[in-house]
C-alpha cells in the first residue's frame, strides 16, 4: 500500500475535512500542484478553484474553495480557506447567471473599491464554472 498524506481543510469556524488520502491537487497561486506523502515542506497561497482528492488511484472528491493558504509538510497538507462547497453541489445555470451579473457589476462600478470587489466575485464565478466543466470532462 502506498504511503498516505493527511489532508485537512479548515475554515475560521471549523475543521471541514480530516482524512488520509493518496494525493491532493491544490489550485495554488502559482499553478496547480499535487501533494503526496514525503512532499517538500512549503507554504503557498490558494487561488479560487477546485481541490481534487485522490484515494486508491482515483478521484474521490472535488471541493471548490474561494482561496486561502496551504501548509505542506512531508506527512500533512493543511488548507486554510474562507468558503468551500463540493463541486457537485454547484449549479451551472446559477454560476453562469452570476458571471453575467458580476460582469455587469464590474462595468457599473463607480469606485475602485466597488470595481475590485466585483472583479473578485467575477473571478470566483469563472473558477466555479471551470471546476464544473473540469469535473464533467473527467467523469
3-state secondary structure of 18: strand
Other C-beta atoms lying within 10 Å of the C-beta of residue 23: 20
What residue segments make up the domains of the chain, in order of their start?
A: 5-87, 90-137
User: How confident is the prediction along the chain (139 residues), in pLDDT tens digits per residue?
Assistant: 569 999 999 999 999 999 999 999 999 999 999 999 999 999 999 999 999 999 998 999 999 999 999 999 999 999 999 999 999 999 999 999 999 999 999 999 999 999 999 999 999 999 999 999 999 987 6
Fold of domain 5-87: ATP Synthase; domain 1 (2.60.15)
Q: Where are the alpha helices (DSSP H) in the chain?
A: 92-108, 112-137
Question: What cell numbers appear for 86 in the block?
Answer: 463540493
Tell me how far apart the alpha carbons of residues 107 and 100 are, in angstroms, rounded to a whole number. 11
The CA distances from residue 117 to 1, 39, 110, 112, in Å, are 46, 35, 12, 9
Question: H or E element: which one contains 27?
Answer: strand 23-28
Amino acid at each position: 500500500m502506498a504511503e498516505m498524506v493527511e489532508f485537512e481543510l479548515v475554515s475560521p469556524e471549523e475543521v471541514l475535512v480530516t482524512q488520509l488520502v493518496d494525493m491532493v491537487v491544490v489550485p495554488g497561486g502559482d499553478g496547480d500542484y499535487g501533494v503526496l506523502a514525503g512532499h517538500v515542506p512549503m507554504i503557498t497561497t490558494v487561488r479560487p478553484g477546485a481541490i481534487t482528492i485522490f484515494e486508491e488511484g482515483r478521484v474521490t472528491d472535488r471541493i471548490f474553495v474561494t482561496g486561502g493558504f496551504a501548509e505542506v509538510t512531508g506527512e500533512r497538507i493543511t488548507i486554510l480557506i474562507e468558503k468551500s462547497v463540493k463541486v457537485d453541489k454547484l449549479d451551472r445555470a446559477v454560476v453562469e447567471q452570476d458571471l453575467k451579473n458580476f460582469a455587469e457589476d464590474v462595468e457599473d462600478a463607480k469606485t475602485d473599491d466597488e470595481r475590485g470587489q466585483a472583479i473578485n466575485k467575477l473571478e470566483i464565478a469563472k473558477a466555479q464554472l471551470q471546476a464544473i466543466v473540469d469535473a464533467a470532462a473527467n467523469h
